[in-house]
Amino acid sequence: MAAERGARRLFSTSSLWLYCLLLLFGRPAPGAAAARSGSPPQSAVRIMDALSFGAAITASSSILVKAFPNNVATVLGGLEVFSGLGLVLGPPLGGFLYQSFGYEVPFIFLGCIVLLMVPLNIYILPSYEADPGEHSFWKLVTLPKVGLIAFVIISLSSCFGFLDPILSLFVLEKFHLPAGYVGLVFLGLALSYAISSPLFGLLSDKMPHLRKWCLVFGNLITAGCYMLLGPVPFLHIESQLWLLVLILVINGFSAGMSIIPTFPEILSCAYENGFEEGLSTLGLVSGLIGGMWSVGAFAGPMLGGFLYEKIGFEWAAAIQGLWPLISGLVMGLFYLLEHSRRRRRSKSQNIVGTEEERTALLPNEI
């Protein structure tokens, strides 16, 4: 769609839709008054909101990567700084507006910011037009390496989503913190992710050969963090607030280490398999990453809430940590096999080249 309609146009249109949907979501008062108001169901508004958000993210990523083709990871890492800032500033600002002015004002405020950005984006963003590519989304997904990285994205996204519904409940129950201080616990994760993302992006662009190992070890470190969040009972480590915050900080760094290399890795794999270099391929890759992230964001809270009720936070976090553990080990094995295949291929090519040179020199020797 980004190639067919133009990435800038898609981004501007989806931003306008986000503005309208935010106003719709904030308009009715919660409870019975909403049911009597005749407004669209909140679930329908949220579904449309998610579609608009996905379109905006896909278009914006495509524009950035097209504008900076030689610094893909650095640009996306810089973009994640603002994602982290949004995670940091959003909850306290929304809570302040809600307590001071009521339910509708946070959504109106956010919608107005989105609306004000639309003409600015139209003026600043370059316009890239492209013809639809020959390759399909399905062909991209069925590439083995891309499929494995998609599983990595789902596992990491589910880890973030896992914490949303239950970490605050665990902190309130375990450490008896006042409700106003619970949000501060999340700052360790958000700030460390915001700080580490541009650093790992720069590292990925300057040393591309390290991208795959950042991805692998980032997943393994994330798995270890979830084992220690509780911590898992068989480790016999007492749960303490400082340890929880420290683990969240480490988790933020490991998330930056493993998430940032995914886009350039998928993009390079697509180019190696014959995908054309242009906006159509960038749109496919952006859409794939956004879709897989949404799958994990849906699965993580559902699994987390279910496991929290059945077996408690400690075991639930440990089970959630199996996702990045499995994806990290599988990706590591894949990269090792890929490396050995390339070495065998280069060795056989060297042997063939040596024989050709020997054959070419043979008549001269005679």
Per-residue pLDDT, 37: 47
Single-letter amino acid, residue 111: G
Per-residue pLDDT, 283: 77
Pairwise pLDDT comparison (204 vs 56), residue with the higher score: 204
Per-residue pLDDT, 133: 58
Across residues 319-328, what is the average pLDDT?
Answer: 92
Contact call for residues 198 and 256 (beta carbons, < 8 A): no
Per-residue pLDDT, 38: 47
What's the mean per-residue pLDDT of the chain? 80
Cα 214 to chain centroid, rounded: 15
Pairwise pLDDT comparison (136 vs 291), residue with the higher score: 291
Distance CA 21, CA 27 (A): 10
Number of domains forming the structure of the chain: 1
Per-residue pLDDT, 208: 84
Per-residue pLDDT, 237: 85
Distance CA 330, CA 336 (A): 10
Pairwise pLDDT comparison (234 vs 55), residue with the higher score: 234
Confidence of residue 366 (pLDDT cuts 50, 70, 90): very low
Across residues 190-210, what is the average pLDDT?
Answer: 86
272 lies in which domain range? 5-28+41-340
Domain assignment present for 356: no
Domain assignment present for 274: yes
Q: At what angle do helices 211-229 and 179-206 cross, to 10 degrees?
A: 160
* DSSP category for residue 41: P
Per-residue pLDDT, 357: 58
pTM attached to this predicted model: 0.78
Domain assignment present for 47: yes
Per-residue pLDDT, 180: 63
Pairwise pLDDT comparison (360 vs 11), residue with the higher score: 11
Per-residue pLDDT, 129: 61
- pLDDT (tens digit per residue) in 140-175: 888 999 999 999 999 998 988 888 778 888 888 888
Cα 332 to chain centroid, rounded: 20
- pLDDT (tens digit per residue) in 234-273: 888 888 888 888 999 999 999 989 988 898 898 888 888 8
Distance CA 58, CA 1 (A): 10
Around Cβ 197, how many Cβ atoms within 10 Å?
28
Domain containing residue 53: CATH number: 1.20.1250.20
Domain assignment present for 78: yes
Domain assignment present for 305: yes
Does the pLDDT of residue 347 top 80, yes or no? Answer: no
Cα separation of the two ends of the chain: 65
Going from the C-alpha of 366 to that of each of 268, 353, 356, 363, the distances in angstroms are 48, 21, 16, 5
Per-residue pLDDT, 35: 45
Per-residue pLDDT, 323: 92
Distance CA 327, CA 72 (A): 23
Single-letter amino acid, residue 322: L
Domain assignment present for 33: no
Across residues 290-301, what is the average pLDDT?
Answer: 86
Domain assignment present for 360: no
- pLDDT (tens digit per residue) in 20-46: 777 777 665 445 444 444 455 666 777
Per-residue pLDDT, 130: 57
- pLDDT (tens digit per residue) in 80-124: 778 777 776 777 777 778 778 877 888 888 888 888 888 887 777
Per-residue pLDDT, 224: 93
Pairwise pLDDT comparison (148 vs 13), residue with the higher score: 148
Distance CA 314, CA 316 (A): 6
